[in-house]
Chain A
């Protein structure tokens, strides 16, 4: 999965309230057994929750950060966000799909849009007067 992110030119930054020393222990003692060579991206420490507060993922009652995921474009603008409570883990494949869709839109300088359920290789929409009432000709939703 990380290779796919690299191929898309995506830099990953993870953040938690653990110190960078604990990040090292976690990497060296557990993660290295799960990921060949250890964690390949920067693991950030936000012990006071300052970054978490600014991103709306700080849980004051528990002193932790919720499972928040933000896609930030090359201009530094947030394009997508998703926040889950702790018991449910994420599905990275959907994040990758969204990154691919946002990259298509950006490469077209905003001329193209991706319809619901779009996957790489599917037709894109070119919003404009000619598309009104004609989306059905381009976009055939799969069940």
Chain B
């Protein structure tokens, strides 16, 4: 992911190591290992990702693996302006 989002492109979080959606081959007759969804499980490495973020007045990209060496609390929630 580029550091600066270009124009009106819809930037989004992305899993690192996963094929980009445009180039992923969709073939219902065969399943390559790359098409298997990565699934988070306890005791297994956390799927690495990169995503645009808001942090104290600035926009920046965050990559999970940049934080190796620290304990991480990763929290998903349904949407802004709801209770977290």
Contact, CB under 8 Å: B13 / A78:
no
* Interface check A133, CB cutoff 8 A: no
Distance, CA A114 to CA B82, complexed state (A): 35
16 new A-B contacts at CB < 8 Å, known A13-B74, A76-B48: A8-B71, A12-B72, A13-B62, A18-B79, A26-B80, A42-B55, A42-B62, A44-B53, A45-B11, A47-B11, A50-B14, A54-B37, A54-B38, A57-B76, A69-B75, A72-B64
* Interface check A24, CB cutoff 8 A: yes
Distance, CA A88 to CA B49, complexed state (A): 27
**Which residues in A have their C-beta under 8 angstroms from that of B48?**
76
Total residues of chain B contacting the partner, CB 8 A: 51
Binding-face segment, A60-68, A120-128, A134-142: A60-68
Distance, CA A19 to CA B69, complexed state (A): 28
Contact, CB under 8 Å: B71 / A103:
yes
Q: Given the known A-B contacts A42-B53, A78-B40, are A51 and B73 also in contact in the complex, defined by CB atoms under 8 Å? A: no
Q: Given the known A-B contacts A13-B74, A70-B46, are A76 and B65 also in contact in the complex, defined by CB atoms under 8 Å? A: yes
* Interface check A9, CB cutoff 8 A: yes
Distance, CA A52 to CA B15, complexed state (A): 10
Q: List 28 A-B contacts (CB under 8 A).
A: A10-B71, A10-B72, A10-B73, A13-B62, A13-B74, A15-B51, A15-B74, A18-B80, A19-B11, A20-B53, A21-B54, A23-B53, A38-B56, A41-B55, A42-B60, A44-B53, A45-B12, A45-B13, A45-B53, A50-B15, A54-B18, A66-B78, A69-B75, A70-B72, A72-B73, A76-B46, A77-B46, A81-B42
**Which residues in A have their C-beta under 8 angstroms from that of B69?**
74
**Which residues in A have their C-beta under 8 angstroms from that of B73?**
5, 10-13, 69-72, 95, 99
Contact, CB under 8 Å: B49 / A50:
yes
Total residues of chain A contacting the partner, CB 8 A: 67
